[in-house]
A and B are shown apart, each in its own frame.
Chain A
Amino acid sequence: MNIIDEKVQALLEMLSLTSDNEADCGDCLQHLAEFAETTLAGKSIPESLRHIDEHLQRCGECREEFQALKFALGEHVTGE
């Protein structure tokens, strides 16, 4: 697969994840702490946080921040 094909694939992936109503990066930041605590506790994602999960699939920038947040919080978020 050449580099050009990679861009086509990336755009198709973007399209298949596109929906009419999406959370933006601001919404994501607002709910990311709650989302991180839920996932780090091994709980299933409630309906109220579904839009954040979907945003993280779509948005590489927020995904990078979420990964760093998980490192920052360590394995568990008890205490502190």
Chain B
Amino acid sequence: MNQCLQENWVFRLTTEGDAQAEALFELEDLLKRRLRRAFRSNAKVDDAFVDDVVQDSIVAILESITQFQGRSKFTTWATTIAIRIAITEMRRMRWKDTSLEQLLERSTEISKTIAVPQSSEIDFEKKQLVETMHRVIDEQLTEKQKLVLNAELQGMPQEEIGRRLGSNRNAIYKLVHDARKRLKKGMIDAGYTIDDLSFFQGAE
């Protein structure tokens, strides 16, 4: 990778003058083309959407430019930021009319989301596995962890769960990670192995 070229982007974007205006123009143009290409098949992504995302992206890129470590092309790094901003906005629009209460209306408790199979056909071992999960969830997870894990299993993105709980995506990830670790440890303590869990995963 041409280190000089990458540093040149940073230098031009952070040094006031004509070169900065030119670099901003080039970057905007590049991000617009790339966003259009990335979301070509999405009818909701029109020019106005792309323009807004690019404006927000430029602000975010300039704010975090010191975090660019030169391990990729500058433009690739800038594109990752623009893509995240675009998809975050799409998720916000897609979920804007759904509250956590509405989402969890049918399965208010995580134990209802992962219900014990009722059919008599179902094999005993599988039933036992789900019952053990219920017990471990009940004993080891906090109420907030149960709520967040339930919402995630029902398809709400972590970003959106965070928005509704006055939190953010990273904090929600950490909360769910801790919940997964507790549940995994609980299952292992109850006598299951990782192989057992993978086996059930593949079993009908």
Contacts of B145 in A (CB 8 A): none
Determine whether B200 belongs to the interface, using a CB cutoff of 8 Å to chain A.
yes
Is residue B181 contacting chain A, with contact meaning CB distance below 8 A?
yes
B:150-204 near A, CB below 8 Å: 153-154, 157-159, 169-170, 173-174, 177, 180-181, 183-184, 187, 194, 197-198, 200-201, 204
Q: How far is the CA of A1 from the CA of B201 in the complex (A)?
A: 12
Q: Which residues of A, 1-51, contact B by the 8 Å Cβ criterion?
A: 1, 4-5, 7-16, 18, 20, 22, 24-26, 29-34, 36-37
Contact among B37, B73, B159 for A72, CB-based, below 8 A? B37
Does B72 belong to the interface (CB within 8 Å)? Answer: yes
Given contacts A15-B197, A37-B73, A73-B79, contact A10 B184 (CB under 8 A): no
Give the total of B residues in contact with A, Cβ under 8 Å.
51
Q: Would A37 and B76 be within 8 Å (CB), given that A16-B201, A30-B67 are in contact? A: yes
Q: Is the interface of A mostly helix, strand, loop or mixed?
A: helix
Chain A nearest CB: distance from B120 CB in Å? 15
**Chain A interface extent, by class:** 35 or more
With most chain A CB atoms within 10 A of its CB, the pick from B84, B86, B117, B170 is B84
Contact indicator B73/A77 (Cβ below 8 Å): yes
Q: Which residues of B line the A interface, CB within 8 A?
A: 30, 34-35, 37-40, 67, 71-73, 75-77, 79-84, 86-87, 91, 113-115, 117, 130, 133, 149, 153-154, 157-159, 169-170, 173-174, 177, 180-181, 183-184, 187, 194, 197-198, 200-201, 204
Point out the residues of chain B lying under 8 angstroms from A11, CB to CB. Answer: 114, 133, 149, 153, 183
How many A-B pairs fall under 8 Å by CB? 114
Q: Within the complex, what minimum Cβ distance (angstroms) separates A72 from chain B?
A: 4
Contacting residue for B30 out of A12, A33, A69, A80, CB 8 A: A80
A-chain residues with CB within 8 Å of residue B114 when the two chains form the complex: 4, 7-8, 11
Q: A34-B72, A61-B157 are in contact. List 17 more A-B contacts (CB 8 A).
A: A7-B154, A12-B197, A14-B180, A15-B180, A15-B184, A15-B187, A16-B198, A18-B181, A25-B158, A25-B173, A26-B170, A29-B84, A33-B72, A65-B83, A69-B38, A69-B79, A74-B37
Whether B80 lies near A25 (C-beta < 8 A) is no
Q: Given the complex of chains A and B, what is the CA–CA distance between A1 and B130 in angstroms?
A: 15
Q: Give B105 Cβ to nearest chain A Cβ, in Å.
A: 15
Which residues on A sit within 8 Å (CB–CB) of B82?
Answer: 72
